[in-house]
Amino acid sequence: MRYFQVNDQCNGCLACVQNCPANALRAEDSDANRVLSHNMARCARCGNCWRICPQEAIEFQFMLENGWDAVKSLELVYCSVCGVPIYTMDYKRTLSEKLGTSGEPTCSKHRDEVTRAAKAHFLKGRSPDMRGGAI
């Protein structure tokens, strides 16, 4: 995505280069061409170049556009009980690499199912009066 754009009206006068307070613009003459470059990290988005450009060649409005660029798209893993998205496939891979085991993906709400099922299995049939069996 190019945010700083210069249209065809530019004649290479380099007024913008001279007037950029942040030294974010640069011109190089080589191979019979004058190449104008813009540095996004240096640019302070002051709009000085656009203001002074005699040809009105600088399209600064793209610098002020509010938008989101998708930078990554990863496959989701859903809770095996309720189906809400919990983490991504790559997150799961990292986790299983670190732990050496991989289990059913469960959300925090249904994580208890495993504990509950295991514990209930051993408590079943016992009366509440029976003391002991602490974990």
C-alpha distances (whole Å) from 123 to each of 34, 82, 132 are: 82, 26, 11
Residue closer to other proteins (CB basis): 44 or 118: 118
Burial of 4 from C-beta contacts in 10 A (0-12 / 13-18 / 19+): buried
Q: Rounded to the nearest 10 degrees, how much is the dihedral formed by the CA atoms of 83, 85, 90, 93?
A: -40
Q: How far is the CB of 120 from other proteins (least distance, A)?
A: 4
CB of 25 closer than 8 Å to CB of 46: no
Judged by CB, which is closer to other proteins: 67, or 132? 132
What is the rounded distance in angstroms from the CA atom of residue 25 to the CA atom of residue 22? 8
Q: How far is the CB of 82 from other proteins (least distance, A)?
A: 14
Q: Give whichever of 67 and 133 is closer to other proteins, judged by the CB atom.
A: 133
> Judged by CB, which is closer to other proteins: 64, or 117?
117
Distance CA 110, CA 82 (A): 8
Cβ nearer to other proteins, comparing 66 with 101 = 101
Q: What is the smallest separation between the CB atom of 78 and other proteins, expressed in angstroms?
A: 14
Return the CA Rg of the chain.
Answer: 31
Shortest separation between residue 76's beta carbon and other proteins, angstroms: 14
Binding site for other proteins (CB under 8 A): 86-87, 91, 94-95, 98-101, 103-104, 108, 111-112, 114-120, 122-124, 126, 128, 130-135
**Rounded least distance, CB 41 to other proteins, Å:** 24
